[in-house]
Structure 1
Amino acid sequence: MTPLWLGLIGLALAQPVPLLLARATWPTRSPMAGVVLWQSLALGAVLSISAAALTTALWLVTQELTWWKIVLHVLILAMGPLVWWRFWWAFGQVWSETSTRRRRHRELVDLLGEPHGALPAVRILAEQTPVAYCIPRLRDARVVISQGTVDALDDDALQAVLEHERAHVRTRHDLVLEAFGVLHKAFPRVLRTDASLRQSQVMVELMADDAARKVTGDPALARAIMALSGGAAPDGTLGGSVEGLVRLEHVRDDSVRARRWSAAASLTLSAIVLVAPTALLAIPYAVRTVPF
């Protein structure tokens, strides 16, 4: 029964659990811990499904051996290298596609945008739609805002926008999203859900908002969110124009107790998801099954 339970846990963590968690609002109160929770769901699914395969292979060779058990045992063990190949293939695909899009977009921005006199990494586009985003990079990252953003915002709100995008660049939120993108692409289509990828995007925006509000305060950040709520960031960039209502609720929620409760709950669930299936099911089963 242990291989079956591990398989069911892995399948649950891959689809139904993320879909249910996406409806909850409490993880957004502590976005950093929320990112850990969403990442743990994906890793926990991988670990549980891998443990289910390994315990099944172990069970096959501890029973009375027949030719079909030996063949199935070999096939299951051969799935390990295949899984890792798919993971590194997904890593290469995501890295290559994202790097290419960012490089091309950065070249266009440098060509079409006007440098900000006091902020050399900022480019201002001659576009009236309020929009702001960043093009992350290890060196020479870009923060891009439209002329419409400059015209629509007062100085404090504009500073909040710039601080938000700088937070993305400074703390490399793009690497967080790329990690989610790799796991999303590595999962087979039948097990894949967009919930974790979408929620990770929301979480990094809230993390950047938390950094901006420390500098400019809540009112200025709220005005910036409202002004940019209709914009959209190009693929491969990070923009603060998504999930405006969720971001406003996060700014309005000033309960320290609620944030601490959210962080504790997220980190506790993360530890359970990552450790419990292996420690309580897979390892005890292996100890009972393998003769020493």
Structure 2
Amino acid sequence: MTALLFGILTVALVGPIPQALAYASWPVYAPRAAMTLWQAVALAAVLSAFSTGLAIAANLLSPGVNGAPTTNPLDEIDRLGWPLWSVYVIVFALTLLVGAKLIYSIVRVSIRTRARRNAHRVMIDLVDRVDMHRQHGRDIRVLDVTAPLAYCLPGLRGGRVVLSEGVLSRLSDDELSAVVEHERAHLRARHDLVLEAFIALHEAFPRFVRSRSALGAVELLAEALADDQAAHATAPTTVGRALVACADATAPRGTMAVGGPTTLARVRRLCDTRPVPAISATAYLLAIAILVVPTLAVAIPWLTELHRLMSHL
């Protein structure tokens, strides 16, 4: 039953729950609480997946007549029967595959993204209009291109806020301050690391169980959090005007642009001043429940049983 409960919980946390959360309208009005809830769902999904495999392993090493655990999983065929034993082995192998793929995805996404960013950082430092970025800040890089560009380039050795002259020509001083503050908010909060974790998690689980909308929903929340920081530093109307002006701004892969397809939704939320304390409190409580309740209800009995088995070794 422990393995079954963990398996059901894993599927729910990877598919239906993220899908429902992605289509909900409230997260953009409480982005910090919603981001916490998303991270709790992701962490609980990983823990539940590994717990499923561990619970199955414990079932395949159940105690024999002398109280000691059996050391050969094949000995459990007679007790469990071929159908159930086969299901256990398949699910256990799938759990190992998901774990290996998650580790591989984390390493691959990290190496690939950092290599792309390092190469791009070298390029923009070479073509930067030094006279312009001294005027706007040491972390600013200005490119002499007419195409609209406004994005941040994270990095451990100092992030960059990249702007093009095409964007500078569109924005007033207040709007430019809002765009710069938006990108600096991404850099300070390291939203890139959050998104990398969700990308790795998205790639690790099989397509038939994972939610297709989860990654896009988390990206929108990251932009909403940066918008709020920019609005606090300037004004919501200023941020809204800047978003509209930079709606068609583009950015290379591995960076975070101020514009994009979510611009309209973000402008609408800036115009909506509805109070959200109750929504935020509920989201935080759900995040705690998603992590704590399954542990208390399922993990503790299983850990007790595992301790009993190990005591006979």
TM tier, smaller: 0.7 to 0.9
- Counterpart among 60, 67, 90 of residue 74 in structure 2: 67
- Shift, 1:286, TM fit: 5.0
> Based on CA coordinates, which of the two structures has the bigger radius of gyration?
2
CA distance in 2, matches of 1:144, 1:97: 21
Aligned length in residues: 290
1:42-62 CA distance string (max 9 Å, x none): 221222222223223333443
User: % of aligned pairs identical?
Assistant: 38
Pairing partner for 1:267 from 276, 284, 295:
284
- Alignment-mate amino acid for residue 58 of structure 1: A
Q: Encode CA deviations 1:77-107: one digit per residue, 9 max, x unaligned.
A: 7777665443332221111101111111112
Q: CA separation of 1:174/1:11 partners in 2, compared to 1, >3 Å: closer, same or farther? A: same
So what's the TM-score if we normalise by structure 2?
0.82
Shift of 1:146: 1.6
Cα drift, residue 223 of structure 1:
0.4
Paired position in structure 1 for 2:128: 113
The match for 1:187 is 205
Q: Indicate whether 1:211 and 2:264 are aligned.
A: no
Residue 97 of structure 1 corresponds to which residue in structure 2? 112
Tell me which residue corresponds to 2:82.
none
Shift of 1:27: 1.3
Partner Cα separation in structure 2 for residue 13 and residue 220 of structure 1: 38
Q: Is 1:32 matched with 2:32?
A: yes
Q: Deviations over 1:173-214 (max 9, x none)?
A: 212212222222332344333422222211111111111111
Instruction: Supply the distance in 1 between the matched residues of 2:169 and 2:91 (Cα, whole angstroms).
Output: 61
Rounded Cα–Cα distance in structure 2 between residues aligned with 1:60 and 1:252: 58
Partner secondary structure for residue 151 of structure 2: strand
Amino acid of the residue matched to residue 86 of structure 1?
K
Deviation at 1:13, TM superposition (A): 1.0
User: Amino acid of the residue matched to residue 48 of structure 2?
Assistant: S
DSSP 3-state at the match of 2:32: helix
Check the 8 A contact 2:29/2:269 in 1, yes or no. yes
Q: Which letter maps to 1:263?
A: S
Preserved CA contact (<8 Å) 2:52 2:95: no
Partner of 2:255: 237
Q: Is the partner of 1:62 in helix, strand or coil? A: coil
- Normalising by structure 1, we get a TM-score of 0.88
- 1:149 counterpart (151, 160, 167): 167
- Work out whether 1:88 is the aligned partner of 2:78: no
Q: Which amino acid aligns with 2:270?
A: V
3-state SS of 1:134 partner: strand
Residue number in structure 2 paired with 1:56? 56
RMSD: 2.7
User: Quick one: distance in 2 between partners of 1:220 and 1:205?
Assistant: 16
